[in-house]
């Protein structure tokens, strides 16, 4: 037991710079009901809706690095223009969306909250909760906090759908040990917005 706590505290220290979160989280897990079922964590860009068309058709986005896309949309191109042109009246493939409901899922995404919210509205999926982060790695702590403080029950399985699920693999042990549940990581590759090239467990 001591070894297990030490290991959890090391992993938590990497994520939060405060290993004492571990004990607080474990206490919360002990207090909450365990409910038989899946909780789904899904990415948004390149997981639910592909940005290829947008990236290929906007010269400013084509000539700048990938990391600049969100800033260019927000401060140069304008959110209303981008949403109207590339999101409004568009269909996102249903494979993953059809699995999501407000009580068993959350979109965890990076970027700016106003852009990501506008995408969900345009695609008619804003009934699914959304949490926006600065970096991909933040999704790990956010998953833990969302379950403990928003859904307030412990699922028997957490399923992640993402095009870049690297950190979920890296911190799989932490999530599984905190919740005493299974974490299933699904790597997603979209085929434009026609569907998926793959959705497979890794």
* Site of interaction with Mg ion (CB under 5 A): 43, 45-47, 163
C-beta of 22 vs 187, nearer to Mg ion: 187
C-beta of 122 vs 188, nearer to Mg ion: 188
Using alpha carbons, list the distances in angstroms from residue 33 to 39, 133, 151, 152. 14, 28, 11, 8
Which residue's CB atom is positioned nearest to Mg ion? Answer: 43
Tell me which residue has tokens 């699904």: 186
C-beta of 29 vs 40, nearer to Mg ion: 40
- Distance of closest approach, residue 136 Cβ to Mg ion, in angstroms: 8
C-beta of 35 vs 202, nearer to Mg ion: 202
- Distance of closest approach, residue 48 Cβ to Mg ion, in angstroms: 9
- Distance of closest approach, residue 56 Cβ to Mg ion, in angstroms: 17
Query: Minimal CA–CA distance to 103: which of 123, 70, 127, 121?
Result: 127
């Amino acid at each position: 037991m001591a070894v297990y706590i030490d290991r959890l505290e090391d992993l938590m220290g990497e994520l939060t710079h405060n290993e004492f979160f571990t004990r607080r989280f474990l206490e919360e897990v002990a207090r909450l009901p365990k409910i038989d079922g899946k909780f789904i964590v899904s990415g948004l860009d390149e997981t639910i809706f592909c940005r290829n068309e947008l990236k290929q058709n906007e010269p400013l986005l084509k000539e700048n690095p990938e990391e600049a896309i969100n800033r260019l949309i927000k401060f140069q191109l304008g959110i209303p223009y981008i949403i109207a042109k590339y999101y409004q009246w568009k269909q996102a493939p249903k494979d993953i969306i059809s699995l999501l409901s407000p009580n068993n899922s959350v979109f965890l995404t990076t970027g700016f909250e106003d852009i990501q919210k506008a995408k969900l509205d345009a695609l008619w999926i804003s009934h699914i909760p959304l949490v926006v982060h600065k970096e991909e790695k933040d999704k790990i702590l956010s998953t833990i906090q969302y379950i403990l403080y928003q859904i307030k029950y412990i699922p028997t399985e957490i399923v992640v759908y993402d095009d870049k699920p690297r950190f979920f693999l890296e911190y799989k042990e932490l999530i599984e040990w905190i919740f005493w549940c299974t974490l299933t990581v699904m790597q997603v590759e979209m085929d434009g917005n026609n569907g998926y090239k793959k959705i497979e467990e890794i």
